[in-house]
Amino acid sequence: MKFFADTADTAEIRDLAEAGLLDGVTTNPSLIMKSGCDFIEVTKEICGLTSGPVSAEVVSLDHAGMMREAEKLRKIADNVCIKVPLTIDGLKTCRALTSDGTMVNVTLCFSANQALLAAKAGATFVSPFVGRHDDNGFDGMELIRDIRLIYDNYAFATEILVASVRHTIHVLEAAKIGADVMTAPPAVIKALVKHVLTDKGIEGFMADWAKTGQSL
């Protein structure tokens, strides 16, 4: 399963890339606002930190507006992936862009039917939001299972990009189901390394090493 970082924080992105834990990046208007950076400039910088897809989201809601914005965004770098909402206009834009060889991430997916439409429109990625699904009384991981089954039934090329990941269990379950990608805040990705027995093991080794009086 590929790991995307859901952030516009370039320091965090660089740190994950150096650890070999970065296959791409997802951004959205909220993350750009949080970074306090210029939209175009920070997207360009992020694209230089990874060779993987970098999702940059349009802000128009109509097809013509989305296409105008996508034209600007895809000029930033070859690894820009245009992010569009799962609406009819978003699907029109997806079809037009993917037909032209541009990667598209169809976002804000909350049902298997919506995911089916995204695949029909030729999406490179579809982003079901598991955390927000859970928040509203639904089972986010069941949604991933349904999408996986449908995509496998028809050999759709669209990759399932599990989004709105809140904790490490979401990552584990997504991997067990067979999701293609998960995107999470850097803190969640880094938390995957944590285990109490690992910490205790290191503590024990260090204590024993100190008793030897040696140094390396």
Determine phi and psi for 49, rounding to 5 degrees: -95, -15
Between CA 56 and CA 177 the distance in angstroms is: 27
Per-residue model confidence as pLDDT tens digits over 67-107: 999 999 999 999 999 999 999 999 999 999 999 999 999 99
Q: How confident is the model at residue 29 (pLDDT cuts 50, 70, 90)?
A: confident
E strands in 11-95: 24-26, 54-57, 80-85
Rounded (5°) CA angle 105-122-43? 25
How do strand 159-162 and strand 125-128 relate by DSSP bridges? parallel
pLDDT, average across residues 111-133: 97
Whether 151 and 118 have beta carbons less than 8 Å apart is answered as no
Q: Supply 172's token pair.
A: 């584990």
- 2-212 fold: TIM Barrel (3.20.20)
Per-residue model confidence as pLDDT tens digits over 91-102: 999 999 999 999
Domain residue limits, the chain: 2-212
Q: Is the pLDDT of residue 57 over 90?
A: yes
Q: Is the pLDDT of residue 50 over 90?
A: yes
Closest among 140, 84, 83, 88 to 111, alpha carbons compared: 140
Going by the DSSP 8-state scheme, the letter that residue 75 receives in this structure is T
Q: How confident is the model at residue 36 (pLDDT cuts 50, 70, 90)?
A: confident
Whether 23 and 189 have beta carbons less than 8 Å apart is answered as no
Closest among 148, 186, 147 to 168, alpha carbons compared: 186
Which neighbouring-strand residues pair with 104? Answer: 82
Between CA 132 and CA 138 the distance in angstroms is: 9
Whether 80 and 54 have beta carbons less than 8 Å apart is answered as yes
Active site residues: 83
